[in-house]
């Protein structure tokens, strides 16, 4: 079974590379943006024609939430045009597409965990481009899984965990937002779920949510990061209004994982347990 992973230099792409050796029955093709520019229609079609592919896992994304407010066109190309090109190529070559999306497709006004069927309403450019990318996938191929996830971190790439540990190296205290609620996602756990979905050969295509279990704020997340890494630093809770950013963030980003658990028979770790396994 041949699995193409686009965006291979990002943290989820690197997480898939990290676990790939455990799955000898799969042949992975890891393609960074230099190897395969998903925004180039002809290059994508040619790549699929030249390689026998069974699954395409699209981890490529423009994820700079604040910069997206100023770089709308760049975000659109990577998050919308890219998935469209991959979906067209997958449909043409009879390939199943697994596309990674985000909790930012929601506005964060909910009071209970979001279901896949809940109404979307992005409040920023990043979320809107990710939602538009989902729509392109749905419109252009029949065999697809869209995985919405949240607060992704790992030892790889750039993420909140690594930022907190870096800032703690030369500070004695940090202020962290406490009124944005969600669930962290260990990128290696997400990678393992993607592989489990591929191995299952399940054809119940559609949209699925995945994060680790539990609920916390960014403040809670930061405190736990410092705790497991034995970092002694004062962490102060602040409100969103005290830390203005170019892009608005959803106040509530908890995802309901019932569908993916029942469809694929997976168990999901609590976020604290998953974080403890990512000690740096």
Residue 6 C-alpha from the chain's centroid: 13
So what's the pLDDT on residue 172?
A: 94
Query: What pLDDT, in 10s, does the model give residues 204-222?
Result: 999 999 999 999 999 999 9
- How many other C-beta atoms lie within 10 A of the C-beta of residue 231? 14
* Ordered structural domains, the chain, with CATH: 2-158+185-213+254-269 (3.40.50.720)
Split the chain (280 residues) into runs of 10 and give each run's mean pLDDT.
Answer: 97 98 97 97 97 98 96 97 98 98 98 98 98 98 98 96 97 97 98 98 97 98 97 97 94 98 97 92
126: annotated active-site residue: yes
Cα torsion 102, 105, 109, 112 to 10°: value is: -50
So what's the pLDDT on residue 279?
A: 77
3-state secondary structure of 270: strand
Catalytic residue among 62, 114, 126, 153: 126
Give the pair of three-digit tokens for residue 69. 């407010």
For 5, phi and psi rounded to 5 degrees? Answer: -115, 110
So what's the pLDDT on residue 250?
A: 96
So what's the pLDDT on residue 227?
A: 97
Closest CA to 205 of 61, 96, 121, 125: 96
126, 247 Cβ separation under 8 angstroms: yes
Query: What pLDDT, in 10s, does the model give residues 215-270?
Result: 999 999 999 999 999 999 999 999 999 999 999 999 999 999 999 999 999 999 99
So what's the pLDDT on residue 183?
A: 98
Closest CA to 82 of 64, 65, 99, 67: 99
């Amino acid at each position: 079974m041949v699995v193409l992973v686009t965006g291979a230099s990002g943290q989820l792409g690197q997480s898939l590379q990290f676990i790939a050796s455990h799955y000898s029955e799969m042949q992975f093709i890891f393609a960074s943006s230099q190897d395969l520019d998903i925004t180039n229609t002809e290059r994508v079609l040619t790549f699929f024609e030249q390689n026998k592919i069974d699954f395409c896992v699209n981890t490529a994304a423009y994820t700079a939430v604040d910069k997206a407010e100023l770089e709308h066109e760049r975000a659109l190309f990577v998050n919308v045009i890219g998935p469209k090109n991959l979906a067209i190529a997958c449909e043409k070559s009879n390939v199943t597409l697994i596309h990674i999306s985000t909790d930012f497709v929601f506005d964060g006004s909910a009071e209970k965990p979001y279901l896949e069927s809940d109404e979307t309403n992005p409040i920023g450019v990043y979320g809107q481009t990710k939602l538009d990318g989902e729509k392109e996938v749905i419109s252009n191929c029949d065999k697809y899984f869209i995985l919405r996830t949240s607060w992704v971190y790992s030892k790889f790439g750039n993420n909140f965990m690594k930022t907190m540990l870096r800032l703690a190296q030369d500070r004695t205290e940090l202020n962290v937002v406490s009124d944005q609620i969600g669930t962290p996602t260990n990128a290696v756990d997400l990678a393992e779920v993607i592989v489990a979905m591929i191995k299952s050969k399940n054809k119940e295509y559609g949209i699925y949510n995945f994060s680790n279990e539990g609920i916390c704020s960014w403040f809670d997340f930061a405190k736990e990061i410092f705790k497991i890494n034995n970092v002694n630093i004062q962490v102060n809770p602040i409100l969103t209004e005290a830390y203005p950013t170019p892009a608005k963030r959803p106040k509530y980003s908890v995802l309901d994982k019932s569908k993916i658990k029942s469809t694929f028979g997976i168990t999901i770790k609590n976020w604290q347990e998953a974080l403890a396994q990512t000690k740096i």
